[in-house]
């Protein structure tokens, strides 16, 4: 029984899921502040704050930040100068790529890009895939994988020669380095996170422990590849920093082993509502701890915010939302969903989750 179960599902850390939608909140989210440069006794940081929304316990405060410890004084001055010349307001309105195109220095451009698009659905897909591998490899939080296998699982196609395109390879290295380099600052006990003076923890999603280059003639530097070039190592060994797995504390959510992390051709990861909804539902399973483990009632306002459905046309937002629910229903994660008549004009949605595809650990 237990082994069958393990074949069909894999555990993803509960604390990570609780914080994931917040940690990856986009620039359009009203709780998100624009990036700032900050220095304190410990060093320099480029950081983005996500403020808590006190009307809902799950909308906790999180800071995501890139430590800039290896910057020279000149680089720090240049970074400050580039930062001052940025029009951060139009960056949100006109798109991130557009907003950053004036920055000449590629490293600075990529730094902002990494922070602004942190934990987008493509990166979340990578994280899910790594938790699945951790379960298969049974080596605790340590996972070893071949880059090409990961690209394959993300649904990318190969060139005529059989390799992957330089741009996708490069994006993968940048994603991995972002998951390694960006630190999350959050309350140690998320459920009490809004209290003043709460103890904080600082963690990355993963740490890259080592990597391999099979063609020895290539000389590869992880940071340089992420900051300046289009390179990718052939394999990586990483350690998942949020990891309870199936250990005795048992704080996790089981995901279906056939979870789809492929990137759809022609589509755009920031519009991957299906992955956002899946993760948000998993997150709410941890926050709400429903007695039956199946029924979740979530206000539409918070659903829309966490799906980044923040456009001005509410009927269109509704269309996209229900289309997304339909997708997860087709995949079997959701057994049913219905809109509950709203108290004071705040309608909510009741979901019935399929415990065979998504199930929290017993509380």
# chain residues binding DNA, by CB under 7 A: 49
107 binds DNA per the rule CB under 7 A: no
In the bound complex, what is the minimum distance in angstroms from residue 319's beta carbon to DNA? 6
Q: Which residues pair with residue 183 across a beta bridge?
A: 65
Q: 152 to 191, contacts with DNA by CB under 7 A?
A: 156-157, 159, 161, 163, 165-171
Stretch that binds DNA, among 12-20, 78-86, 269-277, 327-335 (CB under 7 A): 269-277
Q: Please state, in angstroms and rounded to a whole number, the distance separating the CA atoms of residues 46 and 182.
A: 10
329 binds DNA per the rule CB under 7 A: no
In the bound complex, what is the minimum distance in angstroms from residue 25's beta carbon to DNA? 14
Q: Please state, in angstroms and rounded to a whole number, the distance separating the CA atoms of residues 240 and 8.
A: 21
Q: What are phi and psi of 199, to 5 degrees?
A: -70, 135
Place of tokens 């005795």: 248
Q: 64 to 93, contacts with DNA by CB under 7 A?
A: none
Characterize the bridge pairing of strands 9-13 and 43-50: unpaired
Burial class of 301 by CB neighbour count within 10 A (0 to 12, 13 to 18, 19+)? middle
In the bound complex, what is the minimum distance in angstroms from residue 339's beta carbon to DNA? 12
Stretch that binds DNA, among 16-24, 57-65, 95-103, 244-252 (CB under 7 A): 95-103
Q: Are 181 and 272 in contact (CB under 8 A)?
A: no
DSSP secondary structure code for residue 31 in this structure = T
Q: What are phi and psi of 103, to 5 degrees?
A: -70, 120
In the bound complex, what is the minimum distance in angstroms from residue 86's beta carbon to DNA? 14
Distance of CA 230 to the CA centre of its chain: 22
Q: 207 to 236, contacts with DNA by CB under 7 A?
A: 215, 217-218, 220, 229-232
- Show the site string, 306-325: x = touches DNA by CB under 7 A, - = not: --x-xxxxxxx-xxx-----
Helix axes 273-288, 314-330, angle to 10 degrees: 80
Q: Are 14 and 33 in contact (CB under 8 A)?
A: no
Q: Please state, in angstroms and rounded to a whole number, the distance separating the CA atoms of residues 235 and 258.
A: 23
In the bound complex, what is the minimum distance in angstroms from residue 28's beta carbon to DNA? 7
- DSSP-assigned states of every residue in 285-335: HHHH--TTSSEEEEEHHHHHHHTT---S-HHHHHHHHHHHHHHHHHTTSEE
29 binds DNA per the rule CB under 7 A: no
338 binds DNA per the rule CB under 7 A: no
In the bound complex, what is the minimum distance in angstroms from residue 5's beta carbon to DNA? 32
Please identify, using beta-carbon distances, which residue of 134 and 150 lies nearer to DNA: 150
Please identify, using beta-carbon distances, which residue of 191 and 323 lies nearer to DNA: 323
In the bound complex, what is the minimum distance in angstroms from residue 12's beta carbon to DNA? 22
Residues that bind DNA (CB under 7 A): 94-98, 117, 120, 122, 156-157, 159, 161, 163, 165-171, 215, 217-218, 220, 229-232, 263-271, 273, 308, 310-316, 318-320
């Amino acid at each position: 029984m237990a082994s069958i179960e393990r074949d069909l599902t894999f555990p993803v850390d509960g604390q990570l899921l609780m914080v994931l939608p917040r940690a990856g909140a986009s620039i359009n989210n009203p709780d998100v502040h624009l990036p700032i440069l900050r220095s304190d006794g410990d060093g320099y940081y480029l950081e983005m704050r996500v403020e808590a929304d006190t009307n809902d316990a799950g909308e906790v405060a999180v800071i995501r930040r890139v430590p800039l410890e290896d910057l020279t004084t000149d680089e720090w001055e240049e970074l400050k100068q580039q930062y001052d010349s940025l029009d951060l307001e139009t960056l949100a309105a006109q798109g991130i790529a557009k907003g950053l195109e004036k920055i000449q220095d590629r490293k600075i451009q990529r730094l902002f890009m990494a922070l602004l698009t942190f934990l987008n659905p493509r990166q979340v897909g990578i994280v899910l895939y790594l938790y699945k591998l951790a379960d298969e490899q049974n080596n605790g939080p340590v996972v070893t994988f071949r880059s090409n296998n990961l690209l394959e699982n993300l649904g990318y196609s190969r060139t005529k020669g059989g390799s992957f395109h330089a741009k996708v390879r490069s994006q993968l290295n940048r994603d991995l380095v972002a998951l390694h380099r960006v630190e999350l600052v959050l309350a140690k006990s998320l459920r009490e996170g809004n209290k003043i003076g709460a103890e904080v923890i600082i963690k990355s999603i993963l740490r890259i422990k080592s990597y391999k280059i099979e063609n020895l003639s290539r000389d590869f530097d992880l940071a340089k590849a992420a900051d300046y070039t289009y390179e990718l190592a052939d394999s990586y060994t990483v350690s998942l920093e949020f990891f309870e797995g199936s250990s005795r504390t048992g704080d996790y959510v089981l995901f279906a082993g056939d979870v789809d992390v492929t990137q759809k051709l022609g589509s755009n990861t920031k519009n991957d509502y299906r992955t956002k909804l899946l993760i948000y539902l998993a997150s709410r399973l941890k926050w709400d701890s429903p007695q039956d483990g199946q029924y979740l009632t979530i206000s539409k306002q918070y659903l829309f915010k966490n799906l980044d459905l923040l456009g001005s046309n509410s009927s269109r937002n509704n269309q996209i939302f229900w289309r997304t629910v339909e997708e997860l229903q087709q995949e079997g994660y959701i057994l049913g969903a219905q809109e509950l008549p709203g108290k004071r004009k705040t309608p909510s949605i009741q979901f019935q989750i399929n415990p065979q595809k998504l199930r929290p650990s017993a509380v």
